[in-house]
Amino acid sequence: MRSTHISSFLALVSLSTAVPTSWTTKDPLPLVIWHGLGDNYLADGIQEVGELAEQVNPGTFVYNVRLANDAGSDRSATFFGNVTTQLAQVCNDLATHPILSTAPAINALGFSQGGQFLRGYIERCNSPPVRSLVTFGSQHNGIVKFQDCGASDWLCKGAMALLQTNAWSSFVQSRLVPAQYYREVNETTGLASDSYLEFSNFLADINNERELKNETYKKNLASLEKFVMFVFEDDTTVIPKETGWFAEVNATSGKVTPLKHRPIYKQDWLGLKKLDHKGALVFKTIPGPHMQLDDKVLKQAFKKYFSPATKKAIFQEVLGDWEL
Ligand SMILES: *[C@@H]1O[C@H](CO)[C@@H](O)[C@H](O)[C@H]1NC(C)=O
Ligand SMILES: *[C@@H]1O[C@H](CO)[C@@H](O)[C@H](O)[C@H]1NC(C)=O
Ligand SMILES: *[C@@H]1O[C@H](CO)[C@@H](O)[C@H](O)[C@H]1NC(C)=O
Ligand SMILES: *[C@@H]1O[C@H](CO)[C@@H](O)[C@H](O)[C@H]1NC(C)=O
């Protein structure tokens, strides 16, 4: 008797919240995927990842982030552009998307640089809000070296040649994407260099490394249910690979300072400590070189982090709404 009572109460509550949007807690949340440098939103690999997500959680609506509708221009935007402007465009695209904008939340999957850009989305916009963020081989603590390009990849070569000129000039910072997450360390203090703090157009801001901290960034990031960071064990493209876990690496000695021993965590500039204390910060490794994705690892991640809420979680959510 009592249990029917509860279930009709549950039905009523979920009905009233579901009416305008038709989303229920049993529906998988939409998945937003942001691809990496040199890739594009229509590429086979990215499409296959979306299909895999749909296979693991049937009914998942998948949206691949794009900065242009044609594949060539979208690829070009992974090398060239002002990341502030690009991110604002993506924020607008997601907030006005006919399906995403009606969802109570979305999940986010970032490959390589797409990972720190999705984190930027969460910190700056988060509308619709992200429930869980999973990143593979991302550069959360920046890079100390620019990557090598394929022999005939002239777009990549052109970008990298410009980067070698002066990474901190406003010309480069406003036009070349990887320069905006390039990060230098002061060899004496072991902390971020003065040039980086002054001129970095993206990373120094999004990591709240400047004196004036943005509390919204911290609040938004700390609201994640899970923040999962995968590092490729044999990654030689991203230098250092430990940046995927927000670690600092001494370029001379190779000594790794893990996130938990760094001010960004200890003084909690970004809400990472808060996430860690609620068990929401996950550090993972995946075998192989940069972006050699294994279907099994992806499937496990989708099942674990992107599945619809469990019955228990739904119940708690409903009771929480009623502030019992
Ligand atoms: C912090 O970030 C939010 C979101 O992007 C922005 O609206 C706000 O102006 C920023 N605050 C400061 C002090 O920069
Ligand atoms: C990038 O774009 C933003 C927004 O228009 C602007 O405020 C910023 O100065 C630009 N960055 C550089 C390095 O020019
Ligand atoms: C980095 O390692 C070198 C060599 O061991 C050392 O001399 C230097 O002080 C270290 N830098 C920092 C900031 O710890
Ligand atoms: C490194 O830090 C020291 C101490 O704050 C400072 O005097 C020096 O100018 C810095 N060097 C660079 C290259 O930023």
Query: Relative to the alpha carbon of 126, which ligand is closest?
Result: 1
In a domain, 247, yes or no: yes
- Asked if 130 and 30 count as a contact pair (C-beta separation under 8 A), the reply is no
CB distance 324 to 126 below 8 Å: no
Active site residue 290: yes
Q: Ligand 3 mean position to 244 CA, how many Å?
A: 21
Measured in residues, the chain has a length of: 324
User: Is position 115 within any domain?
Assistant: yes
Catalytic residue of the set 112, 132, 138, 200: 112
* Any ligand 3 atom below 6 A from CB of 59: no
Let me know if residue 14 belongs to a domain: yes
Within-domain flag for 13: yes
The span from the CA of 133 to the CA of 113, in Å, is 14
> How many A from CA of 154 to the centre of ligand 3?
37
Ligand 2 mean position, distance from CA 175 (Å): 9
Measured from the CB, is residue 24 less than 6 Å from ligand 4?
no
Q: Extract the runs of DSSP E, i.e. beta strands, from 259-308.
A: 281-286
Domain housing 229 = 8-148+203-319
Q: Give the domain CATH number at 305.
A: 3.40.50.1820
Residue 119 forms part of a structural domain: yes
Answer yes or no: is 211 within a domain: yes
Q: Is residue 28 part of a domain?
A: yes
Q: Is 182 helix (H, G, I), strand (E, B) or coil?
A: strand
Q: Which ligand is nearest to the CA of 184?
A: 4
| pLDDT value at residue 19 | 34
How many angstroms separate the CA atoms of 228 and 215, rounded?
Answer: 22
How confident is the model at residue 310, as a pLDDT?
53
Question: How many angstroms separate the alpha carbon of residue 142 from the centre of ligand 1?
Answer: 21
The pLDDT assigned to 188 comes to 87
Give the separation between CA 227 and CA 183, rounded to whole angstroms: 22
- Tally of domains within the chain: 1
The one-letter amino acid code at 68 reads A
pLDDT at 147: 76
Separation of alpha carbons 272 and 246, rounded Å: 10
235 is catalytic: yes
- Position 88 in a domain: yes
Ligand 3 contacts CB of residue 252 (under 6 A): yes
β-bridge mates for residue 230, sequence order: 136, 284
Which of 39, 74, 205, 235 is flagged as catalytic? 235
Q: pLDDT tens, 271-307?
A: 999 999 999 999 999 999 988 988 999 999 999 999 9
Helix (H) or strand (E) holding 52, with range, is helix 44-56
Does ligand 4 have an atom closer than 6 angstroms to the CB of 84? Answer: no
* pLDDT lower than 50: segments of the chain: 1-20, 311-312, 314, 321-324
In this prediction, residue 285 carries a pLDDT of 96
